[in-house]
Amino acid sequence: MGMQQRLQKLIATAGIASRRHAEELITSGRVTVNGKVVDALGVKADPETDHIKVNGRLINPLLQQREKVYVLLNKPKGYLSSLSDPKSRPIVTELVPASLGRLYPVGRLDFNTEGLLLLTNDGEFTNYVTSARNNIPKVYRVKVKGIPTENAIKRLRSGIRLDDGNRTAPAVIKRLQQTQTNSWFEVTLHEGRNQQIRRMFDAVGHSVLKLARVRIGSIDDFGLKTGEWRLLAPAEVRKFYRPQSSTREHKTGRQSSTREHKTGRRELRLSSR
């Protein structure tokens, strides 16, 4: 590498922990550089000349050998977007081979939500994709109870105050179809609050019955069945770092991409089975 970098970035790159957890390791005094404890954030080190240890383990060899891995998983309902669970519930990392090494979920999908989830050992990529300021769209298909009025949907589009007092950012919401008892929507967010879509529709009196994420940035769920995964191509990873285009441009690009595939697109079924 030949240059100094922040310790939390190096720890995340080595696959020891996420960047946030790496900061906790530093402040708790569990990181040393050249034998000296570092417990303050902002300290930099050069992995080519400095000996960096976490919990007494030298991480320099990990940094030299680390190959970045980017996985796209179609998460089933009933899995946690976590590395472990004290209740022994299924976790998403069980769905990918252990041979890929230690991977971390990029953001979260809650236990009862299905759809696309990225996993990686690249801490910087995780921070970039999850940061709202980078404007990475996440698209969801939502089935809700009842038929929200157009006024209710306008409130959600412009931003609504949630039960914790925080206001959501504007969202793109398209009404897809409805029956006498249920409605289906496509929702595009650029932020990721805990269970945000469920809480948004709860705020207008319509509980979510089913929720699936079908696109992250320019990556959609074409050809990836529930529970399946694939590696992202380098070109797909690079696209995340380009300025995000408008929803209309994404839609056009998605149609063009779909035409390149030989098989038909799997339709996401949101109706009750």
Classify residue 95 by its DSSP letter. G
12-24: pLDDT as tens digits: 888 788 888 999 9
Q: Which CATH number fits domain 138-216: 3.30.70.1560, 3.40.50.2000, 3.40.50.10800, 3.30.1460.30?
A: 3.30.70.1560
Confidence of residue 2 (pLDDT cuts 50, 70, 90): low
CA dist 79 and 229 (Å) reads 14
User: Which segments of the chain belong to CATH 3.30.70.580?
Assistant: 70-132+218-257
pLDDT in tens, 132-161: 899 999 999 999 999 999 999 999 999 999
Report the distance separating Cα 119 and Cα 76, nearest Å.
15
Determine the average pLDDT of the residues in 260-269: 36
171-203 burial code (b ≥16 CB/10 A, e <16): bebeeeeeeeebbbbbbbbbbeeebbbbbbbeb
Please name which of 112, 139, 117 lies closest in space to residue 210, comparing C-alpha atoms: 112
Instruction: Evaluate whether the domain defined by 70-132+218-257 bears CATH number 3.30.70.580.
Output: yes
CATH topology of domain 5-65: 3.10.290
Is residue 273 pLDDT above 60, yes or no? no
Amino acid 164: pLDDT: 93
Give catalytic residues, as residue numbers: 110
Q: Mean of the pLDDT values across residues 213-222?
A: 93
Alpha helix segments (H runs only) across the chain: 7-13, 19-27, 60-65, 123-130, 150-158, 196-203, 234-239, 247-260
Give me the pLDDT at residue 267, please. 34
Q: Give the pLDDT confidence score for residue 67 in this predicted structure.
A: 77
Please tell me the distance from the alpha carbon of residue 150 to that of residue 185, in angstroms, as a whole number.
Answer: 12
The two three-digit tokens of residue 87, written as one number: 């209740």
